[in-house]
Each structure stands twice: as structure tokens, then as C-alpha cells.
Amino acid sequence: RTVCLLVVYCLQVMSAYGTTLFLPYTLKVLGANPYFISFVGCLAQIPGIALMAIIVEWPKVGRRNTIRFYTALSVIFSFLFAFVQNEVATPVFTVLLYFSILPTLTAIITYITESYPTEIR
């Protein structure tokens, strides 16, 4: 179980930080304003994390389904960003990607810490 959680955590951290580091360069290559879009994307993380905090506490949803939901959103928005590129879609999908990628990492960190008894933590 520890190895699986470690792999999931490492992959999510690499995707989150990789996206954050390389997305501005990609936006610049595509001709968009990387600074403004990254700023708006960082602002979009706030409601994303707030929504994640609400969803996590719903009794029928829980942490695992929240992680699945936000991971699916991240994958969908990543593919849309990669394959649908025009003046309107690129900034929109970038902001939506920022909206979904950090809450996934936050939910994974919460899930991992609560997966072990208090004595081990």
C-alpha cells in the first residue's frame, strides 16, 4: 500500500510542478500572454481547492472519489489544451487545468496522511 501511494504521489507532484513550470513557455510559443493567463490560472486554483474541500467532506463522495474526479478533470483539460489550440480555447483550458491540478494534489496529500494510524504518522 505504501509503495502504491508513493507512486501516485510522485506522479501527481511531477505532473503538477511540470505543468506549472512548462505551461508558461508553451503559452508563449502559442502566442498567448503567459503571465496574465498564469496569474488567472493561479486565481482559479482558489475556487478549485474550495470546491475540493467541500466535496471531500460529503459522506457519499469521500477522498478517493474526489481524487478520481479531479484527476479525470486534469486529464480531460490536459488533452483539450494539447489538441484544441486557438485564441479562445488555449487560455480557457489553461485556467481549467490550473483549476483542477492543485486540488488533486491536495486531496492526495490528505488521503495519504489519513491512510495510516496516528501512531505511525
User: Using CB atoms within 10 A of its CB, is residue 102 exposed (0-12), middle (13-18) or buried (19+)?
Assistant: buried
Residue 79, pLDDT score:
92
pLDDT at residue 119, rounded to an integer:
78
Look at residue 28 in the predicted model and tell me its pLDDT. 87
pLDDT block averages, 10 residues each, the chain of length 121: 88 88 86 88 92 89 90 92 86 91 90 82 68
Instruction: Return the amino acid letter for 25.
Output: Y
DSSP state of 32: S
pLDDT reported for residue 7? 92
pLDDT of residue 26: 85
Q: Which residues contact 81 (CB under 8 A, 6 or more apart)?
A: 90, 93, 94, 97
Q: What is the rounded CA–CA span in Å between residue 12 and residue 108?
A: 8
The pTM for the full model equals: 0.84
